[in-house]
Structure 1
């Protein structure tokens, strides 16, 4: 794990000093892969999706995400196709295999240590991701993080996903709005947060990075790294 600056490190102040937030993106931040993309490819390996057409569409959506042009509603309809066709009972069983075969081997000691350091310092640790809650809830739990802000899936009366998003999607500016909702539900606001840190790899997360006290460009993409260098933000590489 390398850190290009010493500025803005965790102070370790007790929680009595006020609410301290440690916010983390997930994909390419805490894990060196995109969990949504990987789950899609895993469903291909199960024979749930046609390999050629799914991979072509999945790759196209991923390029749009990296470019900052993704239509999140369109993507969620695509990404939940396997869930809607095969049902949540089968999907949950498949996700257990996905965790064992894909996600757990990708969880690094450096990422776990960073999370534990914030927890030990008394910070409120929250994963804030643009990947949907079906894919990410078990991953957050595996990291020992109870608080997850992810894209919520609209469900039918039987609890099956409809392909639509429920509420504000936690994507780009929506991450700021969802954190505000999370704070408000607990009787807080941005103004009442004593200190906030956000770790992210992606230019898509610039709105939330600009909102917190301490933005940390973590395994940053080229565009985010350029901004971090220009603004003197801390740069952290967890996967070296």
Structure 2
């Protein structure tokens, strides 16, 4: 049996769901455009450069979730999916996921974006297993604006994946092949750990690394 791991943002979707969510809220008049565009863009540049402080970013990114109850957030997310996410899901990404499922592989999305944003995207893509940043909830099931546990970012993806596998009584060695598809230099720790790393529409650092090491480089963009 094989395990097929997929990054989400700029890999399975042609954009970044963690960038698109505040852009959507700004469009709805729910966030201050001047403040959030500037800070969100600055964090995204740090992410692309491999210098992002994930805890600082999460403090910024998760705070708006605490402003609304879950019913309101879920309604907003449904609109966000239609307007911002479904239009940037390439058919090639759906086809690749379908091919792995047809082969009987265990398929997972492993992302540094939070579960509230990414859970419905994983469902849209038909992916059962998801590792994402987990969110703290209050007694009424509303978000506090704080994360819980280890963020699934850089080496944190390895920590979270190994914990998930251990819960199943498995390890990476339990699988004949372990694929990991990613676009980002931030995923090099996990790419270096799997048997079949694949660079997908990669950034410059990952492209250079993949070329040097003979990893496949593919595109999922239509």
Q: Give the TM-score normalised by the residue count of structure 1.
A: 0.90
Q: Equivalent residues in 2 for 1:73-222 (5 A)?
A: 73-222=55-204
Q: Equivalent residues in 2 for 1:1-16 (5 A)?
A: none
Describe the SS at the equivalent of 2:15: coil
In structure 1, C-alpha distance between the alignment counterparts of 2:89 and 2:97, rounded to whole Å: 12
Contact 1:73 1:164 in 2 (8 A): no
In structure 2, C-alpha distance between the alignment counterparts of 1:163 and 1:71, rounded to whole Å: 17
Q: Where do 4+ consecutive residues of structure 1 move more than 4 Å?
A: none
TM-aligned CA deviation for residue 87 of structure 1:
2.4
In structure 1, C-alpha distance between the alignment counterparts of 2:99 and 2:155, rounded to whole Å: 28
Q: Count residues in correspondence.
A: 222
Contact 1:43 1:82 in 2 (8 A): no
Please tell me the root mean square deviation across aligned C-alpha atoms, in Å. Answer: 1.0
TM-aligned CA deviation for residue 116 of structure 1:
0.1
Whether 1:36 aligns to 2:18 is: yes
Q: Give the TM-score normalised by the residue count of structure 2.
A: 0.97
Question: Which is bigger in relative contact order (C-alpha 8 A, separation at least 6)?
Answer: 1
In structure 1, C-alpha distance between the alignment counterparts of 2:220 and 2:172, rounded to whole Å: 28
In structure 1, C-alpha distance between the alignment counterparts of 2:57 and 2:30, rounded to whole Å: 18
Contact 2:63 2:146 in 1 (8 A): no
In structure 1, C-alpha distance between the alignment counterparts of 2:83 and 2:146, rounded to whole Å: 28
Structure 1: stretches of 5+ with no match in the other structure:
1-18
Structure-2 residue corresponding to 1:26: 8
* 1:47 aligns with one of 18, 24, 29: 29
Contact 2:70 2:142 in 1 (8 A): yes
In structure 1, C-alpha distance between the alignment counterparts of 2:99 and 2:194, rounded to whole Å: 19
Structure 2: stretches of 5+ with no match in the other structure:
none
